Amino acid sequence: MPPTAGRPEAGCAAGGVLFSWGMRAPVRVVGSLVSLFVALLAPAYAQEGFKITYDVDQSRPEKARLNGRIVNERSQDVFEVNVTAEALNGRGQVVARGITYVDARIGRGDSRTFTVSVPTVPGTASFRVVVSSYRTGFSSQGP
């Protein structure tokens, strides 16, 4: 019978544990892949509830600077907000990316400014900015 994870086996040092992949490994791998897939899709879902406006400053040859404002239109405060700016080619494919931290807290209805730089890449036709991560909750500020 193969050893199982977490069960001490004969031949192990005192207190040692022999771990076997056994039949549990595929479950772990599939679970990890699902988590990775969800994490990669998170930026697409993170956009809901925010209004983003920005201007593009391309005065520097090595990078474009996007200066903008994000408005929290959600019914809750948001925390640890990051935005990602993407340079797109003529077919809408991402050719360069930049990310910036916006603020620790943006209350519902509040706004914050941000600046994010994106490397200049030949063939860039446009830009887009999305909220790439945040946490939700209610502020616990006292009177």
Q: Is the pLDDT of residue 67 over 90?
A: yes
Task: Name which of 114, 110, 100 is nearest 78 in CA terms.
Answer: 110
pLDDT, tens digit, 9 for 90 and up, residues 13-47: 444 433 333 444 444 444 444 444 444 444 444 47
- Find the mean pLDDT for residues 59-73: 95
pLDDT at 48: 85
- Find the mean pLDDT for residues 109-123: 96
- Find the mean pLDDT for residues 104-121: 96
What CA–CA distance (Å, rounded) separates 96 from 66?
13
Strands (E), 36-120: 50-57, 63-72, 77-88, 94-106, 111-119
Domain ranges of the chain: 1-46, 49-137
pLDDT at 82: 97
Q: Is the pLDDT of residue 143 over 70?
A: no
- Find the mean pLDDT for residues 77-104: 97
- Find the mean pLDDT for residues 6-11: 43
The tokens for 63 are 């990078």
- Nearest 5 degrees, angle CA 12-CA 13-CA 14? 115
pLDDT at 34: 43
- Reported as a pLDDT band with limits 50, 70 and 90, residue 51 is very high
- Reported as a pLDDT band with limits 50, 70 and 90, residue 137 is confident
Determine the topology of domain 49-137 in CATH. Immunoglobulin-like (2.60.40)
